[in-house]
Amino acid sequence: MTAVDPNLRATRTTCAYCGVGCGILATPDGRGGAAISGDPEHPANFGRLCSKGSALGETLGLTNRLLYPMIRCRKGTMERVAWSDALDHVAHRFQHIIARDGPGAVAFYLSGQLLTEDYYVANKLMKGFIGSANVDTNSRLCMASSVAGHRRAFGADTVPGCYEDLDEADLLVLVGSNAAWCHPVLYQRMLVNKLERGARIVVIDPRRTDTVGDDDLFLGLKPGTDTALFSGLLVHLADSGALDRDYIERYTTGFDDAIARARSMAGSVGATALATGLSEQDVATFFQMFAKTPRVVTMYSQGVNQSAQGTDKVNAIVNCHLATGRIGRVGASPFSLTGQPNAMGGREVGGLANQLAAHMGFTPPDIDRVRRFWKAPRIATHEGLKAVQMFEAIARGEIKALWVMGTNPAVSLPNADIVREALKKLELFVVSENVVSNDTVDAGAHVLLPAQAWGEKSGTVTNSERRISRQRAFLSAPGEARPDWWILGEVARRLGHGAAFSFATAADVFREHAALSAFENGGGRDFDIGALAALSDDDFDAMAPVQWPVRQGADPQARFFADGGFFANDFKARFIAPEIPALRTETTAARPLRLNTGRIRDQWHTMTRTGESPRLGQHLPEPFVEVHPGDALKFGVADGDFARVTTDYGQCTLRVAVSERQQRGMLFAPIHWSEANATGARVGSLVAPYTDPFSGQPENKATPASIAPYEYVFRGFALSRKPLELPAHAWSARVAVNGGHGYLFADNADLVGWQSWLKSFAREDIAEYVDFGGGVYRAASFCGDRIDACLFIGPARDAGDWNVVKDLFAADTLDNDQRRMLLSGKSADGLANAGPIVCACFGVGRNTICETIAAGARSAADIGAKLKAGTNCGSCIPELRRLIAQTSASDAEPRKLAVAN
């Protein structure tokens, strides 16, 4: 946690990461940074922050920052230009391509990192005035199946419940959600409910994640079988008398078809167990828990959404809540846990290619309504291309101009190698970004436009419970960075649409967005914030977090649908009869495993922000693949060694982590590493591009794959005050460290080459340890009493202690003993080696924790009392418990041996 001086002026703003939407107090330090703490008055988090939010102050530097507009010149290099020249060029090229090939030849690809105002202007320009709906967002990779499921069931993309339900529920069901790592602030609320009210927790996931541990029941089902499980639950609810027949009759339609389909795929506990790979006892236990608990919240996230049948999974869950009337009531609702900070705001303004603004769709009445409000005669009249299809169209040459804003599709999209090659075919490739280099920029951007970053932007975001919060600037924008809405508006003016884009402030954009939400609404559409349409600039600045709808003249509404009022034409919800679950791909002898992808605790997306924090880089510093011990033995890979993971789309070389928590037949690899920060670790390049037919969301969780050992003779690490370009033949991963730049690597080249590489940039004051015969080389160059750069390399596990040397590197001066011991790679007297960081919030290392356990700590609470570890976001508590168990086991083993002897 970052301490805040209460005498300094703090700015209330909102976190830059997940959809929880935590409030933050940011206090500038006068040097371009800020002290960060949780806002105790924000209803999303009440002062609590996760490890990533706590470390935001470490990510505010200007390293790799894009500060000025740039255009690729004829020589192929990027050159700085004036804003007017960059904007003129973008507008001229768009205009030329549209005139020649039509509006369908251009596209925008947006991001859940954008503010609502940015999103609104982008959609207004493309859909309203260019006349194409080819504007989609990386939220397509995140929450599109939830959107489609909501719209099919409710007639609108409405989240029925709110965070308070997590406090009031008696049963909390987590499906495809590692909330302990991905939504830790909400997960801590669930644990408080469990502790204080006795709520029970069920976790449903093929992986035994860190969310498993405080659960009362874990269902490790087969990948892709969620629909069968919840169809079986629907049958059980019907057969056990748990249905709310009155609710079904009054407020819904389609139940008979849905229950008939459910019976055909999972008509009994036994059939459900067979379909899901679960035991009959576990299935029966879950069914009884759900049936007998009126207050139940079912939360689902990427494990449900990122599927070629994700929409059906969502609707199978929603069916069970509709059938019991457990929706929109205190402590009872289905609940979509949103992945990005403003995925919900993007959905409100039509950020997806199959939506119009203000939760309207491509129906004739909605098209006409938006056309008249915007005064947009060329408004798009049909849906555009969804993300995966959009980049396939680019590869075919059908889309010739693309503007990417605040996202990195060359890393995050499935089949990412093809995406990267497609980008090189564009006639015009514009990127609005904070960074001067990432995989997408490096794929051949023609124009770079410097956008403001978190801390500099002003506007709004909406969180998972429909709560709109202000994101306020507390830092001055560096260089010539501008808001995305301003950049878009300037291009719109140059395209001849100045009157419709005469926004002077973010508040202007917000007021128009709010007015559109209320336009010809009258309660017929869920999204309505019309009461905010007349906010003054001062009121907008001071706006407190508010949950929509905020209708003119109506009371606030925290929940939907307890008494019906759905948004279909007949005001009824629809039960959906899902298809029988089946993954889109089959494993083969060549691809016998399935690759699951996802996030880790302390990193975010492609690490352009979190990768700058030394704290966040220490927990899991290298790209890895998690493997079940049985599969590791079968395929000859060992924990800590390297393996090559291959699919029909690409290959990656990753560190192996052997874990009993991984389901046999499955691999897991995190999504965060890119070519900008690692070698051969772009996991998106492995993922099959199959998508859900309703949502267009790709199936990121089950690509057929193979794994084989990959041998490296040498391992090592380098540290430097300046960024380094490691030899091309090495596998490497960049890690943020205090005082400079860190690199972990592996290689098969001779050590003489590494010695020459170090001396090519090192200072003259060099200390070396050379044992080429033993395969060891260690060297450090100094600037005064401080390490300037160092290189440690040796056989597999004999390169030296990364954590010890990293701490020495961070020191301003080394004493004689430390300098003498440095090249041993071992700790000197007086230098405590904390080990790999376990608690990122407070920077507590594994060795420190293990010493505390050995000294008598027997619970996570004991460790927290002594070290603070686990007392902030709590996401490290599962690991604390594992360390306690491991230490207890290792302590017990010698005693057993002593007795035997």
* Tens of pLDDT, residues 261-276: 999 999 999 999 999 9
Higher pLDDT, 485 or 850: 485
Give the span between the Cα atoms of 854 and 838, in whole angstroms: 17
Binned at pLDDT 50, 70 and 90, residue 161 comes out as very high
Binned at pLDDT 50, 70 and 90, residue 860 comes out as confident
Higher pLDDT, 340 or 556: 340
Return the closest-CA partner of residue 266 out of 222, 296, 210, 218. Answer: 222
What radius of gyration, in Å, describes the C-alpha atoms of the chain? 27
Residues 6 or more apart whose CB falls under 8 angstroms from that of 579 comprise 227, 309, 312
C-alpha distances in angstroms, 402 versus 104, 274, 389, 501, 631?
A: 11, 47, 14, 21, 43
Query: Given this model, what pLDDT does residue 481 score?
Result: 98
Question: Helices 877-900 and 860-867 sit at what angle, rounded to 10 degrees?
Answer: 110
Query: Degrees (nearest 5) of the Cα angle 359, 360, 361?
Result: 125
Query: Given this model, what pLDDT does residue 2 score?
Result: 40
Give the span between the Cα atoms of 809 and 674, in whole angstroms: 26
**Interval 598-617 mean pLDDT:** 94
716-760, pLDDT tens digit by residue? 999 999 999 999 999 999 999 999 999 999 999 989 999 999 999
Question: Tokens in use for 563?
Answer: 């008494």
Least-confidence region, from 157-161, 636-640, 711-715, 817-821: 817-821
Query: Given this model, what pLDDT does residue 828 score?
Result: 60
Query: Given this model, what pLDDT does residue 882 score?
Result: 85
Query: Given this model, what pLDDT does residue 837 score?
Result: 85
**Interval 378-404 mean pLDDT:** 98
Give the span between the Cα atoms of 419 and 84, in whole angstroms: 30
Query: Given this model, what pLDDT does residue 32 score?
Result: 87
Does 8 have pLDDT greater than 80?
no
Query: Given this model, what pLDDT does residue 1 score?
Result: 34
Query: Given this model, what pLDDT does residue 893 score?
Result: 46
**Interval 495-506 mean pLDDT:** 98
Query: Given this model, what pLDDT does residue 4 score?
Result: 41
Which amino acid, one-letter code, is at 145?
S
Query: Given this model, what pLDDT does residue 438 score?
Result: 96
Binned at pLDDT 50, 70 and 90, residue 900 comes out as very low
**Interval 167-190 mean pLDDT:** 97
Query: How do 447-450 and 11-14 pair as beta strands?
Result: unpaired
**Interval 818-844 mean pLDDT:** 78
Which amino acid, one-letter code, is at 520?
E
Helix/strand/coil percent split, the chain, to 5 = 35, 20, 45
Query: Given this model, what pLDDT does residue 58 score?
Result: 93
Which amino acid, one-letter code, is at 832?
A
Give the span between the Cα atoms of 25 and 479, in whole angstroms: 25
Query: Given this model, what pLDDT does residue 126 score?
Result: 98
Return the closest-CA partner of residue 115 out of 672, 597, 503. Answer: 503
Query: Given this model, what pLDDT does residue 538 score?
Result: 97
Q: Answer for the pair 717, 802: CB distance below 8 angstroms, yes or no.
A: yes
Grouping H, G, I as helix, E, B as strand and the rest as coil, residue 335 is strand
280-325, pLDDT tens digit by residue? 999 999 999 999 999 999 999 999 999 999 999 999 999 999 999 9
882-892, pLDDT tens digit by residue? 888 887 656 54
Query: How do 766-771 and 740-747 pair as beta strands?
Result: unpaired
Question: Tokens in use for 809?
Answer: 């590197």
Question: Tokens in use for 812?
Answer: 């301003």
Query: Given this model, what pLDDT does residue 532 score?
Result: 98
**Interval 441-451 mean pLDDT:** 97
**Interval 615-620 mean pLDDT:** 92
Query: Given this model, what pLDDT does residue 658 score?
Result: 98
Question: Helices 877-900 and 846-854 sit at what angle, rounded to 10 degrees?
Answer: 50
Sheet holding 171-175, edge to edge: 217-219, 200-204, 171-175, 296-300, 333-336
Average pLDDT, the chain: 94
Q: Answer for the pair 460, 505: CB distance below 8 angstroms, yes or no.
A: no
Helix (H) or strand (E) holding 657: strand 651-658
Give the span between the Cα atoms of 353 and 696, in whole angstroms: 10
**Interval 561-583 mean pLDDT:** 96
Which residues are bridge partners to 369 per DSSP?
Answer: none
Neighbours of 865 (CB within 10 A): 14
Which amino acid, one-letter code, is at 409?
P
Does 143 have pLDDT greater than 70?
yes
Question: Tokens in use for 182?
Answer: 């991905």
Query: Given this model, what pLDDT does residue 28 score?
Result: 93
Query: Given this model, what pLDDT does residue 298 score?
Result: 98
Grouping H, G, I as helix, E, B as strand and the rest as coil, residue 781 is strand
Does 787 have pLDDT greater than 50?
yes
DSSP result, 511-578: HHHHHHHHTT-TTSSS---GGGTT--HHHHHHPPPEESP--TTS---S---TT---SSTTS-EE---P
Query: Given this model, what pLDDT does residue 901 score?
Result: 26
Binned at pLDDT 50, 70 and 90, residue 63 comes out as confident
Residue 392 φ then ψ, to 5°? -65, -40
Return the closest-CA partner of residue 583 out of 653, 482, 666. Answer: 666
Does 795 have pLDDT greater than 50?
yes
Q: Dihedral sign for Cα 300, 301, 305, 311, please.
A: positive
455-496, pLDDT tens digit by residue? 999 999 999 999 999 999 999 999 999 999 999 999 999 999
Query: Given this model, what pLDDT does residue 3 score?
Result: 42
507-547, pLDDT tens digit by residue? 999 999 999 999 999 999 999 999 999 999 999 999 999 99
224-246, pLDDT tens digit by residue? 999 999 999 999 999 999 999 99
* Alpha helix stretches (DSSP H) within 400-463: 409-412, 416-423
Give the span between the Cα atoms of 324 and 322, in whole angstroms: 5
Which amino acid, one-letter code, is at 497?
H
Does 650 have pLDDT greater than 80?
yes
